[in-house]
A and B are shown apart, each in its own frame.
Chain A
């Protein structure tokens, strides 16, 4: 065990989006909605939908494989696999075990993290601790979701919002003073009822009645979640900035959770961050919950927009309610 904490950063990123595109127009034939309504209220134009044979671990595996390749590592070099999601393959085993096995990460420990849309941020925060202490060297964190299986396509207030996808990142040691400079996590269970899947757990096990009432699908109080999101996005970003000793003008890239364009606009305006520094993929993918942030990160990294020395602010929020933010000074792997 090392006594001094090591700096932890991102060695590589990867993402996978299912091929099938579902447009707003297609949703018009499923629920009473319109392309115009969805665009103006949410900013979403289309989303991806997993194929019938694809489960969350399939998406997670593909994103994880790309992240490993990007980091120049083989699966055997990974010490820990964390999958963040709210739509796992099964109740048990943990999806992370299935993904580790498929990747061939034979010496890795594996577990899932469930803080809904904040799961990737929580996953990175957890993984970073193991590396900082020297307990582990490389951790694969994946945010993966097949939201289309847990949303109600009879509920126009929720089914238009979500999409399927997976994003991954390999965490490892970086030059001292670089990498993840601050972490802020939070939770408030009093807001639990505003975004939930009521049935299927020990509180309300599945039954014919819960199926008939469609209680096995996501339910959301939109206005409450909206208020929470706008407030917490600004607060979480400012807290992580403060902890890192950065000022808001230091942020080169702001990567917010992608729930609604108007939440992003409103919080960015409050934070006074120029829109060109904000990564947005919501228009193409909808809200992919735990996958939204890592997919946005991977796209920006691979497009060459994020370079060594850039300062990133990642902010997530979701059911729980939960929230979390990371201030990251982008740095090269220290091999």
Chain B
């Protein structure tokens, strides 16, 4: 389940931020990937669309790493 979500999140991050797949793992933070605040907003939108969930601003602010994003999606899907 988590592995499946991780693969989907990774694909979105690679597409949205234009980074290499090898650079994305569960521990990677968006900051490591040089994502600025607007990149993160767009990433959140893409995740919302892919997983058909709503991520409110106050929750989005707490998500700093790929692992936290995967965890959040797992709990809220």
In the complex, chain B residues 35-53 whose Cβ is within 8 Å of any chain A Cβ: 36-38, 41-42, 44-45
**Chain B residues near A231 (CB, 8 Å)?**
45
Interface hits, A221-274 → B, CB 8 Å: 221-224, 226-227, 230-231, 260, 262, 266
Interface assignment of A154: CB less than 8 Å from any CB of chain B: no
Shortest Cβ distance from residue B16 to the other chain A in the assembled complex, whole angstroms: 10
Q: Are B57 and A41 in contact (CB under 8 A)?
A: no
Give Cα A14–Cα B61 distance, bound, in whole angstroms. Answer: 44
Within 8 Å CB of A227, what residues of B?
A: 41, 44-45
Contacting residue for A41 out of B36, B44, B45, B60, CB 8 A: B36
Q: How many residues of B contact A (CB 8 A)?
A: 9
**Would you give the shortest CB distance from A205 to chain B, in whole angstroms?**
30
Alpha-carbon gap, A266 to B39, bound state (A): 11
* Distance from B50 Cβ to chain A, minimum over Cβ atoms (Å): 14
Give the complex CA separation of A226 and B45 in angstroms. 10
CB of A34 closer than 8 Å to a CB of B: no
Which B residues between 4 and 42 are near A, CB-CB below 8 angstroms? Answer: 36-38, 41-42
Q: A223-B57, A224-B57 are in contact. Are A40 and B36 (CB under 8 A)?
A: yes
Contact A41 B38 (CB under 8 A): yes
Chain B residue, CB-CB nearest to A157: B37
- Closest B residue to A194 using CB positions: B57
Q: List 6 A-B contacts (CB under 8 A).
A: A40-B36, A222-B37, A223-B41, A224-B57, A226-B41, A231-B45
